[in-house]
Chains A and B, each alone.
Chain A
Amino acid sequence: MKITQVSIFLENRSGRIADVLAVLAGANINIRALSLADTQDFGILRLMVDRPDDALAALKAARYTAIPTAVLAVEVPDAPGGLHSILSALSSHNLNVEYMYAFVGRKTEKALVVFRFDDPIVDDAIKALLAAGISILGPDAVKDI
């Protein structure tokens, strides 16, 4: 159920993201989705990629601070209220979302949302989502999106 996202620590200055993308391009890694969280001084670049292990190895070799993070990717009905139904299922169990970002897949009509929960509650979140009839993508599904 859980899939691996690559999280990279970056200084907040020009050219840093381009440098990371150059490393990944050099390792022939395909990026499926991307999100950036930033503050005045630093940021965290979060990526869904086709081969997370290879991406991490390439980034570490290039001396970045990069770690794997377990996230959930959920299919969202592409209709009004689609995302709301998912968040309702989580909030009714009092499960706090650490962060989330959405993207649209190529091969499906549906939107996809990546959720990050703190470690202790991620398993509760999986239960709550499945109980609400929401489908969670496995690692193989992510490769094809």
Chain B
Amino acid sequence: MFNPEMETIAPDKLREIQNARLLATVERMWNNVPYYRQRMQEAGISPADIHSVEDLPKLPFITKKDFREQYPYGMLGVPRDQIVRIHASSGTTGKPTVAAYTRADIEAWAECGARCLGCGGGNASDVFQVSYGYGLFTGGLGMHYAGEKLGAAVIPTSAGNTEKQLMLMQDLGVTLLCCTPSYALQIAEVAQRLGIDLHALPLKAGFFGAEPWTDAMRRHIEQAFPLKALDIYGMTELSGPGVAHECLEQNGLHVWEDYFYPEIIDPDTGEPLPDGQQGELVVTCLAKEGMPLIRYRTRDITRILPGRDCPCGRTHRRIARLRGRTDDMLIIRGVNVFPSQIEDVLIRIDGVLPNYLITVDRQGNLDTMEIKVEVTEQSFTDHIKGLEALRDDIAAKLKSVITVGARIVLVEPNSLARGLGKAKRVVDLRKL
């Protein structure tokens, strides 16, 4: 553990810290963020109404829309001269989402990241390869500072130039790796092509995130690399990677509750749900200065695992692995479909690479879904009927899980684009 005192803190002590930090955050927003003060006034409350995290449901939500409307500086909690760093997430529509950090924010972010690395057994003796992209994206620099905070030897390879990544991984004796799970699989593919035995490397843990991934994909990565593949959670609005992380139990992600207070709500009504129930994750940042955030609607669907009794000893509550974002969810002929469900089916079928592209279109009034999947040597038998059987098998297994039919198109290996960062899995051509 990186910070055993805080990671195993008694729940009542943790609650004291949360309450004190929440009050300071509400005060800061009331005083420094005019738009949120107005929202509180519209809700008929003032900082005097907030005494503890129990009072959170009284406070208004903040959404992605607020970030857009307050772009770029409307959400600053401090004068701009106290900001030392600005990141931005790739806005798929219009302006990016901007995150601004004070020096203390950068420090707190590194602390949380270092705890994440500790979850994978990381310590100062490790060699840590950061294959997330460096730049506006929070992944690269966020994990870089986390690694330095831990005291590990950080190699800032960023994403891309996979052959060189592999050379450094071998030559420098990398023990910890972080990147998107899809890029991890690409590294494995290139290693196989080059005849590099990844299992001869001293790797011990991988920190994978920035896109939803399944347990089946985890097994795939763990077969390809001699490491424990762990799930890291975060988002630009909250600071970046390192909000929550899986420990070696691989059973839920510990939310660093002294910095981030999690709630689960019904996404339709906004009502809070008890621990154990699935809904939308809402996070309050308890210590952020640059861009304080109260009740941010992440659009991520998960549940809080009841209890604080993880065998690892950490007392911070866990969220379940994410099944996908409400944004990622496709509605096909009225049925909710998450790309992660499709991935889960594909990865269990021998001879199919876990690389796929979903194309949704509308013909007349009917939604159509086409899924391109890559064929490998394993599944190729020189028979048309063998390939047709593979295609029909995939179609049948998918239909049994997602209930809507999809047209399966077998494509050549490596014909689908490999992402360096977040993999693009869905193309929606419907003009809705």
Contacts and interface: CB of A to CB of B under 8 A. Distances in A.
B52 interface: no
A69 B383 CA distance: 10
Given A10-B412, A11-B411, A39-B388, A65 B375 contact: yes
A40 to B, nearest CB: 9
A103 interface: no
B103 to A, nearest CB: 48
B379 to A, nearest CB: 9
A37 interface: yes
A9 B388 contact: no
B382 A39 contact: no
B412 A39 contact: no
Given A11-B412, A63-B413, A63-B414, A39 B384 contact: yes
A78 B412 CA distance: 39
Nearest to A66: B377
Nearest to A116: B382
Interface residues of B, number: 18
A64 interface: yes
A9 B380 contact: yes
Interface string B351-386: 000000000000000000000000111001111100
A69 B382 contact: yes
Nearest to B386: A44
A98 interface: yes
Given A9-B375, A39-B388, A42-B387, A64 B412 contact: yes
B409 A41 contact: yes
**Most chain A CB atoms below 10 A, which of B377, B410, B411, B412:** B412
Contact of A41 (B377, B410, B414): B410
Contacts of B382: 7, 44, 46, 67, 69, 116
Given A9-B375, A41-B410, A65 B388 contact: no
Contacts of B380: 7, 9, 65, 67
Contacts of B377: 65-67
B90 interface: no
Interface string B379-412: 0111110011000000000000000000001111
B409 A9 contact: no
Nearest to B388: A39
Interface in B172-200: 193
Contacts of A63: 193, 412-414
A114 B141 CA distance: 60
Contacts of B375: 9, 42, 65
Interface in A33-74: 37, 39, 41-42, 44, 46, 63-67, 69
Contact of B412 (A7, A9, A37, A67): A9
B411 A65 contact: no
B415 interface: yes
28 contacts: A7-B380, A7-B382, A9-B380, A9-B387, A9-B412, A11-B410, A11-B411, A11-B415, A16-B412, A37-B384, A39-B384, A39-B388, A41-B409, A42-B375, A42-B387, A42-B410, A44-B383, A46-B382, A63-B193, A64-B412, A64-B413, A65-B376, A65-B377, A65-B380, A65-B412, A69-B382, A98-B383, A116-B382
Closest 10 CB pairs of A and B: A7-B382, A69-B382, A63-B414, A65-B380, A9-B380, A41-B409, A42-B410, A37-B384, A11-B411, A11-B412
Given A9-B375, A39-B387, A65-B375, 4 more contacts: A39-B384, A41-B409, A42-B411, A44-B382
Interface of A: 7, 9-11, 16, 37, 39, 41-42, 44, 46, 63-67, 69, 98, 116
Interface of B: 193, 375-377, 380-384, 387-388, 409-415
